[in-house]
Structure 1
């Protein structure tokens, strides 16, 4: 598929896709591979390129990961930090948050049905250090987002989630991950239903931009 979006369109319409993931349509592995190939152009600290990508298409493995995700999501859904509970006292945002919560709950039940699960990982060869890990994950997460952008430009939808990391070790066992390889996200990938996506409502730049000082 030839990319057709402008840069601005791509950056403003790459949405988290949940209910609009087409769970019935197969996704060609070569298309996912091309998106990862593009993602590998992202920066990494010291040009270390310590990333690895688990692309899960096997039905039994997807189901097993989906079962873990469903159970982890139930814990998240019951927490104060659940997306559907945020900004409840702000009428301008409460309805949107409830919509996000409903959508997230749907994905919580259907994660294992997505035709492709992509799990970007970072190989450190050791346990994660204590304290500030921003530099460490900064060598993986830009590439993971580049994957989502490349997928969007090729008619695929993704959803960035980390809920499964409550039980990361169990997912690692399913995938046969060696010690010292750490999962950064879970990206269900599928063709999306409907026509396209629009930019989302966001805070004005004037409310979040700080010049020189807070």
Structure 2
């Protein structure tokens, strides 16, 4: 069942949801596939549609993936984060707390998603890398928007891709490592409440320029 949200509301209130994921409420496959059908309408380079969407419900596989995620994420959670001297600094503690929560509970999330795209971007020129990920990321974001419109949430995580984590997850799920790249790891669950606010962002005037670089 879709929420009564305008397009602008969906776009401005789709958050990275971690602490407010409902770990106890089952997520029907038909709802997930409904969201995916919408996401597949996104543009893809050359209309190749060389994407695959691997959903994980099996408890043991989720637990194994979560262990890889925790191992690889250690370097991120214990690292030093850049300070910007603006509103972003005030959000850092909340972001870290949210990340730690997901780190501890990832295996409890009803469904995990790993979107994959054919090929590897490694070592290619900038246009090839941009086109490669540009053939997957619009659809992945559309999927998150579709989840939000139906009272579900997710977070775009990539910690498991650090080091040899991608290979370990590929081994768990049988993903070919020589022909497919993983684009992230998405926890999927209904959210505890559906009232999400706009995030604090730098104003558009501050991050935009016209006709030439001004920073």
Question: Is this a same-fold pair by TM over 0.5?
Answer: yes
TM-score range normalised by the length of the shorter chain:
over 0.9
1:108 aligns with 2:108: no
| 1:75-154 → structure 2 map (5 Å cutoff) | 75-80=75-80, 85-87=81-83, 90=85, 92-124=87-119, 127-131=120-124, 132=126, 133-154=129-150
**Divergent runs of 4+, >3 A:** none
Contact 2:2 2:151 in 1 (8 A): no
TM superposition shift of 1:109: 1.5
Cα distance in 1, alignment partners of residues 142 and 114 from structure 2 = 14
- TM normalised by structure 2 equals 0.92
Q: Which residue of 1 aligns with 2:211?
A: 212
TM superposition shift of 1:95: 2.6
Long gaps (5+) in structure 2: none
Q: Which residue of 2 aligns with 1:170?
A: 168
TM superposition shift of 1:86: 3.6
- TM normalised by structure 1 equals 0.92
Give aligned pairs, total: 207
Q: Which residue of 2 aligns with 1:59?
A: 59
Q: Which residue of 1 aligns with 2:23?
A: 23
Q: 1:8 to 1:65 in 2, by over 3 A?
A: same
**SS in structure 2 of the partner of residue 137 of structure 1:** helix
Contact 2:57 2:111 in 1 (8 A): yes
Q: Which residue of 1 aligns with 2:152?
A: 156
